[in-house]
């Protein structure tokens, strides 16, 4: 069953340009040229209940704008969308009680108060009875290992601890849909992994539908089987994450370990040299020449070990960006 449905959704913003100086300021009082920027351009997709979907794109692609429309913060310029059967920008109470949004660069907690005070505020907003509130809070603080920090001022928490509190605040009312906008931004590797593990476990237990945006491909690979990619406001790709590399499977990555320092000029005879340092080298070669090139390299170079890999997901996505721009 569909939890989210988007059809031809668009959003444009009007803005003005002004040159520096008093003369330009006076001129703008009487005449300004209105410009329009299309942030989202007629995108369409649907997401089933319980899915975790990666929503990717470069900076300025329209990811956050789309999430704000789906959460009812922004009104669209065109198109339609439903979340849990509701039109988000109508902001009906039952809709607002069943979704949450976490933005890694914007806090919903009061910085000068302990996190538990913000949680109590959310309890009142979402009309959660005391027994359910305490049971949910105990469960989430145990899972995220922050029980001892509930009475600490938010501004005195580390970034990782603060993000855990943000997740708790977003989940106290047990939403059916959750929008996560770069929840691991700025976190260290260990904190990122703990947040990912929690999101995966919570989704498995509650079947909450999740849209996740992130610039860390590790987040997407660890949590998402499906990826939606937008660039310059347009939908570029919607499908299994594994298919990103399949679209560009004509190339392979060959990593070599040698007994003597390799000569980059010699390596270039076999493929594109991606790196060459010390006793290691990395080549990008055509898939249909793998056997031929591997044999030539083994016959020519002092190879100790080698591995063959697909193009990294990040590179496949970069190629998708480039293809969208050139089409």
Helices then strands, counting H and E runs in the chain, come out as 12, 13
Which residue, 227, 245, 263, sits at the end of a domain?
245
Q: Which among 191, 226, 245 is the end of a domain?
A: 245
Shared domain check, 181 and 282: no
Q: Residue 313: is its pLDDT beyond 70?
A: no
Contact 270, 296 (CB under 8 A): yes
Per the CB < 8 A criterion, the answer to whether 123 and 134 are in contact is: no
**Within 13 Å of residue 92, how many CA atoms lie on the same side as its CB?**
9
Residue 175 lies in a domain: yes
Same domain, 211 and 271: no
- pLDDT exceeds cutoff 70 at 305: yes
Q: Are 150 and 266 within one domain?
A: no
Element spanning 35, H or E: strand 34-48
Q: What is the pLDDT of residues 34-67, one digit of tens each?
A: 788 899 999 999 999 999 999 988 788 889 999 9
Question: Model pTM?
Answer: 0.77
146 and 67 in a common domain: yes
Report pLDDT digits (tens) over 222-262: 899 999 988 888 898 898 887 776 665 667 888 888 888 88
- The answer to whether residue 317 is domain-embedded is no
**What is the CB neighbour count within 10 angstroms for residue 102?**
20
């Amino acid at each position: 069953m569909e939890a989210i449905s988007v059809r031809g959704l668009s959003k444009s913003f009007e803005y003005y340009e002004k040159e520096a100086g008093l003369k330009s300021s006076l001129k703008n009082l009487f005449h300004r040229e209105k410009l329009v920027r299309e942030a989202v351009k007629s995108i369409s997709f649907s997401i089933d209940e319980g899915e975790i979907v990666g929503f990717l794109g470069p900076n300025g692609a329209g990811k956050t704008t789309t999430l704000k429309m789906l959460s009812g913060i922004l009104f669209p310029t065109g198109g339609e969308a439903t979340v849990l059967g509701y039109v988000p920008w109508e902001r009906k109470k039952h809709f607002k009680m069943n979704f949450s949004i976490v933005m890694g660069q914007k806090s919903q907690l009061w910085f000068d108060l302990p996190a538990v005070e913000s949680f109590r505020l959310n309890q009142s907003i979402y009309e959660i009875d005391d027994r359910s509130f305490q049971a949910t809070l105990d469960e989430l603080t145990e899972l995220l290992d922050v029980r001892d920090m509930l009475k600490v001022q938010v501004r005195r928490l580390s970034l990782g601890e603060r993000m855990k509190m943000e997740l708790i605040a977003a989940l106290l009312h047990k939403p059916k849909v959750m929008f996560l906008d770069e929840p691991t931004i700025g976190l260290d590797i260990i904190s990122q992994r703990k947040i990912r593990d929690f999101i995966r476990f919570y989704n498995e237990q509650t079947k909450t539908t999740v849209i996740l945006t992130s610039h860390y491909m590790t987040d997407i690979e660890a949590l998402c089987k499906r990826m939606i990619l937008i660039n310059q406001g347009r939908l570029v790709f919607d499908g299994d994450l594994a298919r990103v590399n399949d679209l560009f499977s004509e190339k392979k990555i060959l990593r070599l370990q040698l007994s003597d320092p390799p000569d980059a000029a010699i390596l270039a005879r076999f493929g594109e040299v991606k790196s060459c340092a010390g006793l290691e080298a990395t080549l990008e070669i055509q898939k249909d020449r793998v056997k031929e090139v591997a044999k030539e390299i083994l016959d020519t170079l002092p190879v100790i070990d080698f591995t063959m890999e697909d193009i990294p997901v990040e590179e496949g996505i970069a190629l998708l960006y480039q293809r969208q721009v050139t089409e």
